[in-house]
Amino acid sequence: MSLLSAARAALRVYAAGAAVILAQLLRRCLGGFAEPAFPPQPERVALVTGGTDGIGYATAKRLARLGMTVIIAGNNKPRAHEAVKKIKQETLNNKVEFLYCDLASLRSIRQCVQTFKKKEMPLHVLVNNAGVMMVPQRNTVDGFEEHFGLNYLGHFLLTNLLLDTLKESGRPGRTARVVTVSSATHYVGKLDLDNLHGSRGYSPHAAYAQSKLALVLFSYHLQALLAAQGCPVTANVADPGVVDTDLYKHVFWGTRLVKKLFSWWLFKTPEEGSWTSVYAAVTPELEGVGGRYLYNEKETRSLEVTYNLKLQRQLWATSCQMTGVPDVTRDVFSR
Ligand SMILES: NC(=O)c1ccc[n+]([C@@H]2O[C@H](COP(=O)([O-])OP(=O)(O)OC[C@H]3O[C@@H](n4cnc5c(N)ncnc54)[C@H](OP(=O)(O)O)[C@@H]3O)[C@@H](O)[C@H]2O)c1
């Protein structure tokens, strides 16, 4: 990628962020964000990736408050134990635990799923939340560009390995749910299937946006697969808005300064940022409904190309090759 293309990608990402910030500001001026109410969820089990911090922590806490058994899947043991302790104390729900899962390692994801399955627990909600943003060019353990490998492929594998448990746990009228956290940056993302490793030039902005676009395509194709198989599982995408979290630690210092000074005004709090994920995970309004892009707890349209079935299939097939997951969609959709 040339310097000019990298600069264009950065401008596009900043423009997408600025548009969301303006909308959030307008909403604050018009009365702010109202915390939605959700019904209690006893007997339900949720697994939240990246539940140690930011939006994931707020999501895990809210689900625990609703009475769910919550498993935080993360790669930082001390922070995870601290998060579990705090959530237990604050929600008085003792059914919160930690499962080690480094999403930057396919082996670790497989081990995590194995450990989870040994517990013989159901799984009603999977929240694919963890992520990194605009990190310098580096690779995951398996040699994938980090945004694509961790944000997207890690969740692709995790979801596929947990699908049988989700299918067994859902039932008609009370489906299991896969919630995948994307971002407004997907609107400016481009999927470059020939340069997924970033080897033909790297832009951290383009790489982040691409990973978030891939998650939307994946989620829609997953929903199509589940519907075609008649499974009691749905898949939706949650867009949290622009939220005051540590995700911004790798962005340009000027942006970090603006965030430090004005985030209280311009950004959502992590709790506000978690509402759409929690909405997707539990609201009765979405019972049996999948394949939606949700923003501010409402359905909205994602980038036009995300509805392109051919691209969804290509990405799914490539992801299967990269992660070693058998591609069942070929049989299902060729029937
Ligand atoms: N903040 C925003 O404005 C915004 C906007 C749109 C979308 N999002 C999306 O929201 C999601 C959550 O982001 P956030 O804002 O809450 O950021 P955050 O506070 O930085 O949280 C990211 C989480 O991901 C975890 N994580 C990072 N690397 C991991 C790995 N290798 N394995 C397992 N977990 C890992 C982190 O755990 P450790 O730190 O313990 O490693 C942390 O819990 C991301 O998918 C992000 O793209 C955020």
Say if CB 53 and CB 245 are below 8 A apart. Answer: yes
d(CA 279, CA 302): 18
Residue whose CB lies within 8 A of the most ligand 1 atoms, among 24, 47, 55, 276, for a mutation test: 55
Task: Tell me the one-letter amino acid at 102.
Answer: D
Q: What are phi and psi of 237, to 5 degrees?
A: -110, 140
| Any ligand 1 atom below 6 A from CB of 149 | no
Would strands 233-239 and 176-181 be described as parallel, antiparallel, or unpaired?
Answer: parallel
Mean pLDDT of 291-314: 97
pLDDT score for 3: 80
Q: Which atom of ligand 1 is nearest to the CA of 51?
A: 43
Q: What does the domain layout of the chain look like in residue ranges?
A: 3-330
| Any ligand 1 atom below 6 A from CB of 76 | yes
pLDDT score for 20: 95
Q: Is the pLDDT of residue 178 over 80?
A: yes
In which residue are the tokens 């995590």 written? 112
Share of the chain above pLDDT 70, in %: 99
pLDDT score for 251: 86
Mean pLDDT of 62-91: 98
Q: Is the pLDDT of residue 198 over 90?
A: no
pLDDT score for 106: 98
pTM for the whole thing? 0.97
| Residue 289 to residues 47, 129, 210, 282, Cα–Cα distance (Å) | 20, 20, 26, 12
Would strands 176-181 and 69-74 be described as parallel, antiparallel, or unpaired?
Answer: unpaired
Neighbours of 103 (CB within 10 A): 27
pLDDT score for 335: 63
How many whole angstroms from 247 Cα to the centroid of ligand 1? 6
**Residue 77 burial (10 A CB sphere; 0-12, 13-18, 19+):** exposed
d(CA 210, CA 267): 23
| Any ligand 1 atom below 6 A from CB of 290 | no
Which helix H or strand E contains 97, and what residues bound it?
strand 96-100
Q: Is the pLDDT of residue 199 over 80?
A: no
Mean pLDDT of 295-321: 97
pLDDT score for 274: 98
Q: For residue 245, what is the DSSP state? A: S
For 263-303, where are the E strands, in sequence order?
A: 293-295, 298-300
Which residues are designated catalytic? 208
173: left (phi over 0), alpha (psi -120 to 50) or beta: left
pLDDT score for 1: 67
pLDDT score for 76: 97
Q: Is the pLDDT of residue 137 over 80?
A: yes
Q: Which atom of ligand 1 is nearest to the CA of 182?
A: 7
How many whole angstroms from 51 Cα to the centroid of ligand 1? 8
d(CA 122, CA 30): 42
Mean pLDDT of 232-242: 98
Region 3-330: CATH code: 3.40.50.720
Mean pLDDT of 231-259: 93
Neighbours of 193 (CB within 10 A): 11
Q: What is the CA radius of gyration of the chain?
A: 19
Query: Which range, of 26-30, 242-246, 275-279, 331-335, averages the lowest pLDDT?
Result: 331-335
| Any ligand 1 atom below 6 A from CB of 52 | yes
